[in-house]
Structures are given as C-alpha cells and as structure tokens.
Structure 1
C-alpha cells in the first residue's frame, strides 16, 4: 500500500526523522520499526544529493520516504517527488499564496504545474508505464503544508481549500513561539492544545490529512485522539541517546 492509501484508510503512521545526510545512517534508521522516514532539509543536514541517495534505503526497507524541504524551496518539492518521495512537508506555509505555490510544484496538470521527469521515481517504484504514472501520481503524492505561525492559523481555511494541498503538518515548537509572542518555546504547551485540536478538526472537516511533530512520545495517543494520523518522533540524535542510555544502564546494573 502507498503512503497516501494508508492515510486514506485511517491508519496512524509514525515517521522517523532523519537529519544526518548519509545514506548509511538512513539505512539504519529505515531498518527500525517506523512506517516512514522523513529526510529533513530544513533544520536537518539533508541536501539534494543526500535526498536522492537516501530515499533508496528507505524504499528497500519497505518504508515510505518523506522529505521536508527548506523554507520557500517549492522547486525542491518537485525534485523530491522525482527522486521517489511519496510525501513532502513544506515549512512556513503562511498564506494561501504559499499554499498555491507549493501545490503547483507537487501536482501535475491540470491540478498543478509539476514538470515531467520521474527518471528516478518511476523505476524506484517498480513501474514503467509513464501514462499510468501521470494518471495516478497526483493522488499518490501527499503534500503537507506546515502550520506553525499565527499567519498560517489565520489563513488555515484557505490553505485547506487550496487544490493540491492534501494535508497540514503542525510544528508545535514554532507554533508555541508564535502563540506566546516569542516568550517561550514549548512544544507541549498546554495553553495551545485546544487550538492544535481545532486545527486537526478543520483538516478532517475539509477531508485533508493532519500530521504533527511529537516531542513527547507519551502525547502520541492524545494527538491521535485529536485527529492527527501522521506522527513524527525524535531524530537520530535522540534514538542514539536513548539506546546508549538503556545499554549503559543495563551494563552498569550488572556490575558488582
């Protein structure tokens, strides 16, 4: 099943978050129990070449490749899809105009303006029928517009109504900065949770997907209850730290 079809079926999908621009590291992350692996070009170190190469081990592990592009790099959305990504997350989509530019890069005509050239994506997907790819790919690729500012919140209805936008993805850290007018950064800030729940409700009402970055894994169930079905957990730094902590604790507890 594709990433898109699994979300449409109501599954909750959990993605790893990769910021280290190395295909060997991505291979290790993809071998874990996540449903997807997101290659982060915004705050992570991933770049065009590492995305091109990093998607391969994700696909080989039967995980879904997702890419978060840099701010405003809507051209990279098309490139990520041409490399084989199934979904793209665009940060700081703060207006309907931003959403329109993003959607244009994500979808082939008549929905968008994506240029033809799936030289890597088509064979990586095990396909060869170009006409079928053109006919089906708009529905199979998922565009997530990030909602993380007050401007984005004000424009949310219009963003959700934009043809070619398949869902929203909340960045709770940036959202907390905006929510408190720069007073703090707290991705679990209780004061904003009602609004975060309302964002998911609006996405559902519009027939769109809702995703969120989960800083505290224990809050995953709460976010799913709100309507979020695409959850991002941790980074390689966190995975390594937690694994090392567990190993050291076990080893030291065995010492006499």
Structure 2
C-alpha cells in the first residue's frame, strides 16, 4: 500500500504555529521507533548525532514508522550531509542538521537535501519511490517539497546568521537546541535551557522564522516546556527522548507498586 500521504504529512502540516510533537529515538532498535509511532506523536525523529542509531537501524526505523502511519525525521551527525540524501532515499520525510552556524553551512546541507535547481541531491530514491507509490517523474517533481530541510540553531554564530539561513530557498525550518545554546551563550559555564536569555532567544528565533514563512522547532526536555512553546506558536517540539521516557515510565510504575504515589 503506498504511503505518499504519510511521508508528505510533515511538509503539509508543519508551519503556522502547528504545535506538532515528535518522539525522539536514540535507542538503536527499530522496534522502539515503531512502537512510539503508535502513540499520539505527529512525527518520530531518529537521532544519529547523540543517539546510538546507525544507517542500518535508521533505514529499518523509517520503514517501521512509515508502516505505523507516521512521517519520520532523522537528525544526522554534524557535517555528515551525504547521510541526509541516504535517509531521504530510505523514505524519511525530512532531515535535521545540527550545528548549522552560517549561510555556507546551510547551503552545504541543502546541496544534499534538494534536487536541482535548489540543490545537487543525487538520484537514487528507490525505497522512497516504492513507499510513496509514485512514478519516478512524480517523485522528482515533488521530492523537494516533500523533503523537509531543518537547520539547527545552537550557537552565537547561528543566531547572528539566522536571517541569512532562513532566507535560503530550500531551508524549510530551524530547530533550536536550547541546551547547546545555553552553553554557548554562557561561554561554557552553564547548561540551562530554561534560563531567561534562552527564553528570549527562543522567542527571537520563532519571530524571525515566521517572518520568513519558515517553521520554528525546538527540543523540549520536559512536556511543560513543549506545552509552553506550543502556546507561543512553535511549530514542532520534541518531548524529551526515548531514554528519558523509558526511565520516567518505569519510575512512575515502581512508585505506584511501592506505595510512593
């Protein structure tokens, strides 16, 4: 059964303060991604930067998530833009690229994300074409719009270059890493994504993204932060990680069993 509507759902829905929620999967087991896709997440993100996923677990994870009826994102390792093309070939709906600190970084990312004339993505989407049920010509004509390119904003340099990054044709969204940003803005003295200057930076990023008609995304360590960002008009938020959810779920059940709650 073709899954065009599943894979294109992210590009169709993100934006306009859509408040989408993504699971964040670092465990290198595609079963985890597939199970989280059965919950009320809008998207499932497979993490290759800080998570333990490799190209094999990501390939199967994308398939499991797609078969569960959800689109998938992949966060690639820093500067590993060739992997962006590969995961799109596997059927990912988009890619999150960390540490995009300049217009040049964003252009390099785009060159692997989009087909000409926007980028220079090489042709080879055999799995994605099979999943979507499209003809080769249809996939070529629609592939750029379907493939969501998300640049991470995590440093002083990225904040300074924000408008230049957002102005690029093909950059669909920016994604704030508030912990890294808090380290950068404190000159390495503090990690606190709830700090006042980070709250201000998050609002600045949202305003600039929406001014450019691009989506604003963020990693939210807690559901309370995700709820607050959604109220402020953010388009997509990650709620913690699979690791944190596994431990917090186990802790909650243990507390009940031991009479602590």
1:113 to 98, 103, 120: 120
1:41 alignment partner, one of 32, 44, 48: 48
Q: Measure how far apart 1:10 and its partner are.
A: 4.7
1:57 is matched with: 64
Matches within 5 A, 1:1-256: 1=5, 2-8=9-15, 10-125=17-132, 127-253=133-259
Per the TM alignment, residue 240 of structure 1 is displaced from its structure 2 partner at its CA by 1.1
Higher relative contact order by CA 8 Å / sep ≥ 6: 1 or 2? 2
TM-score by length of 2: 0.93
Quote the offset at 1:191 in angstroms: 2.5
- Report the CA distance between 1:7 and its aligned residue: 1.1
TM-score, scaled relative to structure 1 = 0.95
Give the Cα–Cα distance (whole angstroms) in 2 for the partners of residues 33 and 226 of structure 1: 21
In 2: Cα distance, 1:203 partner to 1:8 partner: 10
RMSD across aligned positions (CA): 1.6
Q: Secondary structure at the match of 1:111?
A: coil
Structure 1 Cα separation of the partners of residues 220 and 230 of structure 2: 11
Distance (whole Å) between structure 1 residues aligned to residue 134 and residue 197 of structure 2: 51
Give me the whole-angstrom Cα distance separating, in 1, the residues matched to 2:14 and 2:32. 27
Q: What is the CA–CA distance in structure 2 between the aligned matches of 1:130 and 1:99, rounded to whole Å?
A: 27
Deviations 1:155-191 (A, max 9, x none): 1111001121111000000000011111111121123
Q: Whole-Å Cα distance in 1 between the matches of residues 17 and 126 of structure 2?
A: 31
C-alpha distance in structure 2 between counterparts of 1:20 and 1:55, whole Å = 14
Q: Show structure 1 runs of 5+ residues with no match.
A: none
Q: Which runs of 5+ in 2 are unaligned?
A: none
- Please give the per-residue CA displacement for 1:100-129, whole angstroms capped at 9, x wherever unaligned: 01111111111111111111111122x131
CA deviation map 1:175-225 (0-9, x unaligned):
000111111111211232112101110000001011000012112232123
Q: Contact 2:19–2:235 (CA<8 Å) still a contact in 1?
A: yes
